[in-house]
Amino acid sequence: MDLRLYIPFWAKLPYVRFGSCLTPDLLHQLYKGMYKHARGWVEILLGTKALNQRFMAMPGAKDLRWFKSGVTNVKVWTGRESRDMMRQFLPVAVDAQAPPDFVRMLHSLLDFSYLAHGTQLSNNELTEMETLLATFHNTKHALVDAKVVPKPGAFDRLAKLHMLSHYTYDIRELGAPDGYSMEMPEHLHIVYVKTPWRMSSRRDPLPQMEAFVERLEAIRMQHTVIDEYYGEREGADEDEIKRFARADRAAENEDDGSAMEDDEETGDEDAGDGTNDIEVEGDRELPKPERFYYLRPAVSVAREPTVRHVPSHVLTSSYGASDFTRALRFFISTKSGAKSSLEPLSPLHPSDRFDVWHTAIIKHGRLPFAPTQPCHRDVVRAQPPVRDSTHRVTRPGIFDTALFACDPVEQGLKRYRAGRVRAIFSLPRRLRHIHSGPLVYLDYFQRFEPDPTDTHTLFRTAPVPGACASMVVPLQWLGMACHLAPDFSSSPSLITVRKRLLFNEYYNHFTYLLMAHWRCMASA
C-alpha cells in the first residue's frame, strides 16, 4: 500500500508549533462542516420527506432563503445556503418524538456558532462557549440512544468537531474568528472569478474574464482619482458591495436547486433608504448603557407611496386587511377622543382613498452591549399578490411579521407582541389632522410564553382567536422585524401546527444578541 512515515517540513523549524497555525474556520468547520453532519442526523431521525416538508413549510422573511424543494435536493452547498439553513434549523428539528437531549445538543451547537461569529468576545463569552461545547458532548449520547450514530466512538472521527475544542484557546491567542475566516478570501472569487465568468459568452472565457477584470481595475483607479479630486462620496464602497452581492445571489438562484425569495422588491427598499425618506421616529446615536436595553429604531418609508388612492375594499380583499374599517374607526376614535368607535368625530366615507406603501425600513443603532457589531437594518414588507390578466396569481403576497411594544411594565421579549403587517398606509387628506404620519394595519398574536420543556428555549405564541384580532397603530410602534416558525412538535396535524408558532431568535445575529442580552439581564 506504499505506507511510509513522512517527516513534515516544519518538524525541524525552531519555535514552530504547527497546531497553532490551524486557526478556526467558521465557513468550513461550522457552516459547511458541523451543520452538514447535523443535517444528516436530523434527516435520519425525522426522515427525508418530513425534513424537506418542514423546510418547505417555513414562512418567509426578508433575507431568509426559502428552500422550495427542501434541503436534501440542494446540489451545491455554498456558505450562504449553509447559514440560511442554520438560521431555520432549530425550529425544524424541534419534534415531539425527538429526544430532549437531542434538541439540547442542537441548541448548544447553534449558540456556540452564533457566539463564535462575534467581532469581539469577552472572557465571559469564551467561558460560555466552553460550557456550550461541554453541553454538546454531554448530550450527544442521544444520537447513540436513537441509533442515529452507531457507537460513541464514531464522534472521534469528526475532525471538525475536534477543532471546536481549540476555538477558545485560539481566540484568546489570535482574536475573534471573523478576522481570519475563509469567507474573506473566498469572497474575492465573486468579484474576480464568478462575476467575470457570468459576463463572458462561456466560449473561450479566460480572455474575456481577463478583460473584465482589467476594466474593473481601471474603473476603480478612476474612482480613486475622482475621490481624491472631488472628495470621497459617502457610502460608495457599500454601494459596490451591495451590487456584487445582488449579482451573486441572482447567480446562485439560477445555479442550484433551491431558491431564495425574489428580490423584486429591491427598488422599494432602496426607495425607503435615502435622503428622501420620511423619518417618523428614532435616535441614531449610540444609546447609553442601561440595565435593560429596548428597541429605539428609526422607522421610515419612501417619500412617495407605492400605490396611491387605494379604496378600503381593495385593502380588505387584496391585502388581507379583513377588519380594516373597524380597526381604523377604533384608532380614529381613540386619537380624536370620541366616546364610541362607532361614532368618531371624523367618520370614514366609502369614497375615502388611502396612499399605501409596500415596504418600511427599520434602522437600528449600535447595541450598547455589543458596540463592535455593525448597525442593523430591517425591512418589513406588505405586498399583495400579483395577478395576470386571467386573475391567476403569478407572485404570492408577502406580509412580514414584526414586533411592537404593548406592555411597558414587562421586561425582555414579554414587553412586545408580534403582528403580521397587512398594510402600511396614511389617512386621507381630510383626516390627517388626527394623525399625519404613516399607519400600520396588523393582525396581532398572543403574548409570548417561555418554552415549558426547557429544551429549545424558544418563546411560543399563537394567533388570537376571533375576528377582532387586528389593530391600526402608528408606524413608529414597530420595533423590529421577526421570524415566526411553525411549532412542529405541537401535533402531526398541519391545522394544529399553524396555531402554535415559535419566535426564531436565530433569524439574524441582531435578534440573537438582543435575546441573549435580555436573558442575561433577567438572570442577573
List pLDDT tens digits, range 223-265. Answer: 888 888 887 655 555 555 555 556 555 555 554 544 444 444 4
Taking the C-alpha atoms of residue 67 and residue 222, their distance in angstroms, rounded to an integer, is: 41
Asked whether residue 26 carries a pLDDT value surpassing 50, the answer given is yes
**What pLDDT score was predicted for residue 407?**
87
**Cell numbers found for residue 523:** 438572570
Asked whether residue 206 carries a pLDDT value surpassing 90, the answer given is yes
Indicate whether 303 and 446 sit together in one domain.
yes
Asked whether residue 4 carries a pLDDT value surpassing 60, the answer given is yes
Residue (of 399, 398, 425) closest to 310 by Cα position: 425
Residues in the chain: 524
Angle at 83 between CA 69 and CA 500, to 5 degrees: 65
Per-residue pLDDT band for 274 (boundaries 50, 70, 90) equals very low
- Whether 167 is in a domain gets the answer yes
User: Which residue bears the cell 429544551?
Assistant: 455
- Among residues 158, 181, 204, the one where a domain terminates is 181
Residue (of 425, 442, 439) closest to 314 by Cα position: 425
Higher per-residue confidence, 188 vs 514 = 514
Indicate whether 117 and 105 sit together in one domain.
yes
Indicate whether 232 and 366 sit together in one domain.
no
Single pTM value for the model:
0.82
Higher per-residue confidence, 375 vs 272 = 375
Task: Quote the number of domains for the chain.
Answer: 3
**What pLDDT score was predicted for residue 468?**
76
**What pLDDT score was predicted for residue 263?**
43
Specify whether the CB–CB gap between 501 and 462 falls below 8 A. yes
Burial class (CB in 10 A: 0-12, 13-18, 19+), 472: buried
For residue 86, the enclosing domain spans 18-181
Alpha helices by DSSP H, 152-234? 159-164, 167-174, 183-189, 195-199, 205-230
Half-sphere exposure of 437 (CA within 13 A, CB side): 17
**What pLDDT score was predicted for residue 96?**
79
**What pLDDT score was predicted for residue 280?**
47
Indicate whether 193 and 319 sit together in one domain.
no
- Whether 507 is in a domain gets the answer no
**What pLDDT score was predicted for residue 49?**
93
Specify whether the CB–CB gap between 479 and 295 falls below 8 A. yes
User: Which residue bears the cell 474575492?
Assistant: 188
- For residue 411, give the amino acid letter: Q
Neighbours of 450 (CB within 10 A): 13
Question: Residues 6 or more apart from 76 whose CB is under 8 A from it?
Answer: 255, 256
**Cell numbers found for residue 305:** 407611496
**What pLDDT score was predicted for residue 129?**
95
User: Which residue bears the cell 425550529?
Assistant: 91
Tell me: the pLDDT tens digits for 305-320? Answer: 999 999 999 999 999 9
Identify the bridge partners of residue 64 per DSSP, sorted by sequence position: 61
Indicate whether 422 and 300 sit together in one domain.
yes
Of 52-56, 182-186, 289-293, where does mean pLDDT reach its minimum?
289-293
E strand segments, 296-335: 298-301, 307-311
**Cell numbers found for residue 343:** 361614532
**What pLDDT score was predicted for residue 78?**
83
Of 4-8, 146-150, 234-238, 416-420, where does mean pLDDT reach its minimum?
234-238
- Whether 11 is in a domain gets the answer no
Identify the bridge partners of residue 511 per DSSP, sorted by sequence position: none
Indicate whether 200 and 129 sit together in one domain.
no
Residue (of 109, 89, 121) closest to 158 by Cα position: 109
**What pLDDT score was predicted for residue 498?**
52
Query: What DSSP assignment string belongs to 396-421?
Result: --EE-EEEEE--TTS-GGGGEEEEEE
- Whether 97 is in a domain gets the answer yes
**What pLDDT score was predicted for residue 243?**
58
**What pLDDT score was predicted for residue 2?**
62
Angle at 150 between CA 149 and CA 154, to 5 degrees: 75
Indicate whether 405 and 454 sit together in one domain.
yes
Over the chain, what is the mean pLDDT?
84
Asked whether residue 485 carries a pLDDT value surpassing 60, the answer given is yes
- Whether 495 is in a domain gets the answer no
With residues binned 3-state (H G I as helix, E B as strand, rest as coil), the percentages for the chain, rounded to 5, are 45, 15, 40
**Cell numbers found for residue 199:** 459576463
Taking the C-alpha atoms of residue 95 and residue 452, their distance in angstroms, rounded to an integer, is: 14
- Whether 276 is in a domain gets the answer yes
- Whether 503 is in a domain gets the answer no
Per-residue pLDDT band for 106 (boundaries 50, 70, 90) equals very high
Residue (of 503, 502, 499, 497) closest to 515 by Cα position: 503
Indicate whether 350 and 234 sit together in one domain.
no
Indicate whether 114 and 237 sit together in one domain.
no
Neighbours of 303 (CB within 10 A): 12
- Whether 3 is in a domain gets the answer no
Find the mean pLDDT for residues 176-186.
79
Taking the C-alpha atoms of residue 374 and residue 246, their distance in angstroms, rounded to an integer, is: 20
**Cell numbers found for residue 39:** 443535517
Taking the C-alpha atoms of residue 44 and residue 149, their distance in angstroms, rounded to an integer, is: 10
- Among residues 149, 181, 213, the one where a domain terminates is 181
Indicate whether 195 and 298 sit together in one domain.
no
Angle at 140 between CA 34 and CA 149, to 5 degrees: 80
- Among residues 151, 181, 211, the one where a domain terminates is 181
Indicate whether 234 and 281 sit together in one domain.
no
Asked whether residue 473 carries a pLDDT value surpassing 90, the answer given is yes
Indicate whether 359 and 285 sit together in one domain.
yes
Per-residue pLDDT band for 272 (boundaries 50, 70, 90) equals very low
